[in-house]
Structure formats: structure tokens, C-alpha cells
Amino acid sequence: MEKVGILGPRGTHSEEAALRLNEILASNRELVICAEIFEVLAAVEAGELDAGFVPVENSLEGSINITLDTLARSDSLVIAREFIWTVHNQLAVKAGIKLGDVKKIFSHSQPLSQCRKFLLKNFPHAELVSTTSTSRAAEIVAESKISDGYAAICTKRAGQLNNLETLANEIQDNSANRTRFFEVRRRPNEKFPTIKGDKILIICQIDGSRAGSLCEVLKEFAFRHVNMTRIESRPARTELGEYIFFFDLENNVDRRTLNDAIGGVKKKSIWLKDLGTFPVINA
Amino acid sequence: MEKVGILGPRGTHSEEAALRLNEILASNRELVICAEIFEVLAAVEAGELDAGFVPVENSLEGSINITLDTLARSDSLVIAREFIWTVHNQLAVKAGIKLGDVKKIFSHSQPLSQCRKFLLKNFPHAELVSTTSTSRAAEIVAESKISDGYAAICTKRAGQLNNLETLANEIQDNSANRTRFFEVRRRPNEKFPTIKGDKILIICQIDGSRAGSLCEVLKEFAFRHVNMTRIESRPARTELGEYIFFFDLENNVDRRTLNDAIGGVKKKSIWLKDLGTFPVINA
């Protein structure tokens, strides 16, 4: 059975998304909880895990920098799959607590701010408390007395793990809260045949980030009609003002044209890494 | 006397940089400590402060997202100055403690990792403890007993504020640790005349982030020889895959050419904000 590393603790959005991907793939891969994203990726590089399942971008919060920085610095990792997950938040309580009983609401600061309208409308007088994770919030509620009137904003999974009941579902203000995950593996990436419609991630350092040189690089994609769905920059960590660029490309042209485009970019870069071609799964 | 908001607590790199800028400007502007970057900028918008002095980018850690996101969403803020600050770390102790006495070293996790080589070489057996800020680390050392053998990695300023002595200076592994700060004010920005060599920050949302459309925008700068020193993207917070772009431009051409370029980009954008023209000061 394959071992897939994920960011812990149990019951967070990472575990919920990884379980859903297992369902979609009809696979019972074992999920191994790690304390840090960096640990997940290091264990894959070291061969201790078959794959790592790590967040790379959220539609509200932006890039997960540690994932990008680690991918840029590794020579042995490729992306096997992208999984796009819609984040669902619920309000969970101990059995017997009703809406009117809630006095104190626990969650990570991000869900607390992302559910602000729901909280203001339904719990204008409740105290809001930040926790280190949504799973921790669910644990605190599980350990409380009914008379405390505690509730947690957490995943369905964290509610189940802590024997909590759902008071309200889908309580986030904005339905656009989606997180992209990468399933990362060691090279080679032979298990996953390239098909049209897949995506490609290219990482490179361009000499100077001037409009001229970046435009020259983008032209390699543009005049061959390669769609770029995202550009991101991260510090090169050498000098202020020097950057590494991440280009997400669609595999919407034939492979030879794509290879020509990547070859053209490589000529204009100090270095370039091709993180592989991978399918995208939405859920 | 002008009031300038900065991120607290006292003694952190933000305060040290703001004090140095005051020196360079031969100004005794009052520095007002705020708990969050967001608070600094909100107080400037509300007219409670004359200016805000906030970090925008670090050469090792990358963008300060809250600064970028707040600037993108404000209609009343402009950038009056950019200040580039080289981060200096020292090892500080209570008077009387020598190198060989140090058993436990406190600091924020970033300086702890940025001084790793120095720590491994000189204190292979010392315990490293993460704190919420470098100022807090200095306070903990100030409150300790000499027999505890505590030391803090902090600014010179935090050492002075807590009556600590310097055991070692410039202990970071990498000299490229530089932070960019913006001095932000309310529009209009008339106090600061535009001069050649200044910089300009443009924020815009482009319809689709495809190579083609981004390249079209960059061409507006490139064929007019406007230097772009940085491009950054942040989520538009509408849908995954929609972005706001930040372009740092050099004011290296005549004003009319620059205005033509910005006008050209505006035509190709859903919206565009010009955050003003500002001088850059290095320290």
C-alpha cells in the first residue's frame, strides 16, 4: 500500500481533501501525518514516503510559500497530480447545545475571518478565540462542559473525530474559498502518462526581472499559443530584487510545440526546472 | 510634529529602521507603535496618523502579503518613500555573561534560522527557543537570572531598551538580508516632487492571467524602455486563478512616456491604481 504524507493534525482541510482524493481514485493509500509541509516533502525526497500531498495556493490567502520554495530548491521532486478542493466549514458543538447556547467560538484565525458575516449575524455577542488549527478548536470543544457553551469552526472530519454535532453547514461568507494541492513524487514520473489538458509547472530564474526580459520569456509561450494560467515570483534569496518565477502552463498544444517553448525559455534563463506534466482533479 | 505609525513592539527591526530613516531625514517625527500592519494603514486612511512605515518585502522571506493586499484595496493611500534597510542581528545578554555561559538562546524563528551557522559553530549544545518577536526575546533575557545563561538574538535597539550587552554583532549567515519599507500617506502626494530615478508602483487586475494578456501589458513598458524592477501577483479574492498584479517601475524615462505606458496598461486592465512616484533611500 502506498504511503502519502500530509500536513497534520488529523481533521484539518488537508486530511479532508486527501481522503476525498482517495475516494475519487478508488484508492486506500495510507495517509501519514507530518507536522510541517517541509517534512512531508523531505520524506518524499528521502524515499520514506511514496508521495506527498501539500497545499500550494488558496483563492483568498494566495501562495503557500514553503511549498513553492521547497519545490524550487529540490532536484528530485515532480508533480504527479493537482487537486482543487472547495473548502467547507461547519459550526460544531457537543450534543445537546443549540444555537442560542453558544457563548464562545474557537477556530484558526483564517476561518474566523472567512465566516465573519455568519458570525456577526448569528452570534453578535459570542467571544471569538484563535487556535493553532481547526482540529485543535474541535478538540477544545470536545474537552469542554455543555455549560461552557463552546463551538468550533472546523471540517466535517474534525467534528466526526471528536464526536461533535453540526449546528450549521457551509458558513463561509464567500464560496470562492478553494485550495490547490499538489501530489508530489520523486522523479521519474513514468506512472502518469501525459494527456492533453494536463498542466505543466516550470520554475526558472531570469537574469533581471525587468519588463523586457520577462516579456521576452512570456513571448515564447504567447506566440506558440501556450496558455499560462498563473505566474508567481519568489525571492531568489541572493539579493533583494532577484527572483525565481513559477509558470503554470496548460498542455493545450502538441508536445513538440510545448517543448520548443520550454526550450526557448531555458535559453533565456539562468536555470530552469520542469516539474512535470500532471492532471488536474476538481472536487 | 508628524506622527508615523509603525509595527510594534518597540525594539523590532521596524522601529530600528524607522529611527534610522528619521536620522537620515534629520527629522524627529513621532513613531506611534501599532499591533498590526493593518492597523497602521487603517489609521493613516482615517487621518489619525500622518504616515505609516510598513515592511513590503524581505530578500529572504518575500512579500509581506498584508501590506500588498491592503494597498490594493485602498483608494486613499499613496507611497511617499521607499526605504531599503539591511537587517542587523546581534547576540545580547545580561551584563557579566560570557560566550561560554550561554545555555539557552531566544529569538523569533526567522532570525534563529538566519543565524544557524553562527549558532552551530559557537553554541552547538545551546537550546534554541522561538518567541513571538525579537523584542520579546530581549525582554525574556532581561527578566532572567545570570545563572540561567540566557541570550537573545535581537536588534541593537532591543538590547538598549532592555539594558543588555552585546556578545557578538552581525551574526547572520547571509549578508543579503534586506527589507523594503514603504512610507505610506493619504492622497494627494504633493509634498514629494517627482524626480528622475524615483520609483512608481502600479497595481492592476488583468482579464485572465494568460501569457498573452500579461505579455501585452508588459510590452507597454518594454517598448518604451520603462524598467520594471519587480512583478508580484496576489489573489483577486474572487475566483481561484484570478490575480491582481503589482508592477514596480523605475522612473527612468520622461514623464510623458511613462504616462503613456501607464495609460496603455490601464486600457488593457479591468482596473488600475497608480500608488504614486516616490524616492528610494538605502541604509
For A281, the grid coordinates are 482533479
Residue A195 has pLDDT above 80, yes or no: no
Helices (H) and strands (E) in chain B, counts: 9, 16
By the 8 A CB rule, do A150 and A93 touch?
yes
Paired sense of beta strands B90-93 and B199-206, if any: unpaired
> What pLDDT band is residue B44 in, cutting at 50, 70 and 90?
very high
A251-280 pLDDT per residue, tens: 888 889 999 999 999 999 999 988 888 888
**pLDDT at position B264, please?**
95
Q: Nearest C-alpha of chain B: how many angstroms from A85? A: 11
Report the amino acid identity of residue B127.
E
- Which of A43-57, A59-73, A152-166, B91-105 comes out lowest in average pLDDT? A59-73
Residue in chain A closest to B247 (alpha carbons) equals: A211
Under CATH, which number does the domain A1-87+177-186 receive? Answer: 3.40.190.10
Q: Residue B157: is its pLDDT beyond 90? A: yes
Among A161-170, B169-178, B205-214, the range scoring the smallest mean pLDDT is B205-214
For B207, name the nearest residue in chain A, comparing CA atoms only.
A229
pLDDT value for B235 = 84
> Is a pLDDT exceeding 70 seen at residue B159?
yes
Higher-pLDDT residue of B271, A210: B271
Topology agreement, domain B1-87+177-188 and domain B90-169: yes
In this predicted structure, the answer to whether residue A96 has a pLDDT above a threshold of 80 is yes
Portion of chain A with pLDDT greater than 90, in percent = 54
Instruction: Determine the average pLDDT of the residues in B165-190.
Output: 86
Helix, coil or strand: residue A243:
strand
The dihedral region occupied by A243, where left means phi > 0, alpha psi between -120 and 50, and beta the remainder, is beta
User: Per-residue pLDDT for A173 more than 70?
Assistant: yes
A84 at B interface, C-beta within 8 A: yes
Q: What is the pLDDT of residues A214-239, one digit of tens each?
A: 888 888 998 898 888 888 888 887 77
- Whether the pLDDT of residue A3 is over 90: the answer is yes
> Which amino acid, B19?
L
Q: Parallel, antiparallel, or unpaired for β B243-250 and B199-206?
A: antiparallel
**What is the rounded CA–CA span in Å between residue B153 and residue B106?**
6
| Residue A97, pLDDT score | 93
Q: What is the pLDDT of residue B113?
A: 84
For residue A193, is pLDDT > 90?
no
Is A230's Cβ below 8 Å from some Cβ in B?
Answer: yes
Instruction: Quick: pLDDT tens for A113-136.
Output: 889 889 999 999 999 998 888 999
Residue A37: which H helix or E strand, with range?
helix A37-45
Q: Are A180 and A230 in contact (CB under 8 A)?
A: no
What pLDDT shows up at residue B208?
64
pLDDT band at A208 (very low <50, low <70, confident <90, very high): low
Closest-CA residue in chain A for B220? Answer: A211
Per the DSSP assignment, residues forming a β-bridge with A15 are none
Residues of chain A by 3-state class (helix, strand, coil), percent to 5: 30, 35, 35
**In CATH, what number does B195-277 get?**
3.30.70.260
How far apart CA A154 and CA A158 sit, in angstroms, is 6
pLDDT average, residue stretch B168-184: 88
**What's the pLDDT score for residue A233?**
87
Range of weakest confidence among A167-176, B48-57, B143-152? A167-176
The whole-angstrom separation of Cα B210 and Cα B188 is: 34
Cβ neighbors of B116 (< 8 A, separation 6 or more) are B173
Contacts of A165 by beta carbon, 8 Å cutoff, 6+ apart:
A92, A93, A94, A95, A97, A159
- Mean pLDDT, rounded, of chain B: 89
> B121: which residues sit within 8 A by CB, 6+ positions away?
none
How confident is the model at residue A279, as a pLDDT?
85
SS3 state at B107:
strand
pLDDT of residue B237: 79
CATH class of B1-87+177-188: alpha beta
Q: Average pLDDT in the B111-133 region?
A: 89
pLDDT score at A197: 57
| Confidence band for B34, pLDDT divided at 50, 70 and 90 | very high
Give the rounded percent of residues in chain B with a pLDDT score beyond 90: 54
- pLDDT exceeds 80 at position A200: yes
CB contact under 8 A, B227 and A211: yes
Residue B219 distance to chain A (closest CA, Å) = 7
Instruction: Please say if the pLDDT value at position A206 is more than 90.
Output: no
Q: Are B7 and B64 in contact (CB under 8 A)?
A: no
Residue in B closest to A220 by C-alpha: B211
Residue identified by cell 466549514 is A89
Cell representation of residue A202:
516550470
Contact A228 B240 (CB under 8 A): no
CATH 3.40.50.1980, applies to A197-283: no
What pLDDT shows up at residue A210?
Answer: 59
Q: Tell me the three cell numbers of residue A176.
A: 470562492
Q: Which CATH superfamily is domain B90-169 in?
A: Periplasmic binding protein-like II (3.40.190.10)
Long-range contacts of A159-165 (CB under 8 A, 24+ apart): A159/A90, A159/A92, A161/A10, A161/A11, A161/A135, A162/A11, A162/A92, A162/A138, A163/A95, A164/A92, A164/A93, A164/A94, A164/A95, A164/A138, A165/A92, A165/A93, A165/A94, A165/A95, A165/A97
- Picking from A102, A249, A83, the residue whose alpha carbon sits closest to that of residue A165 is A102
Model confidence at B238: pLDDT above 90: no
d(CA B175, nearest CA chain A) in Å:
9
Task: Assign A194 a pLDDT band (cuts: 50, 70, 90).
Answer: low
Distance between CA atoms of A166 and A168, rounded to whole angstroms?
6
Taking a C-beta distance cutoff of 8 angstroms, is the pair B42, B32 a contact? no
All three cell numbers of A62, joined, read 494566495
Whether A207 shows a pLDDT value over 90: the answer reads: no
Identify which of A210, A225, A228 has the shortest CB distance to residue B227. A210
Domain ranges of chain A: 1-87+177-186, 90-169, 197-283
Asked if the C-beta of A173 comes within 8 angstroms of chain B's C-beta atoms, the answer is no
Q: What pLDDT is stored for residue A130 in this prediction?
A: 86
Q: For residue A135, what pLDDT is reported?
A: 93
- Separation CA A73–CA A254 (nearest Å): 29
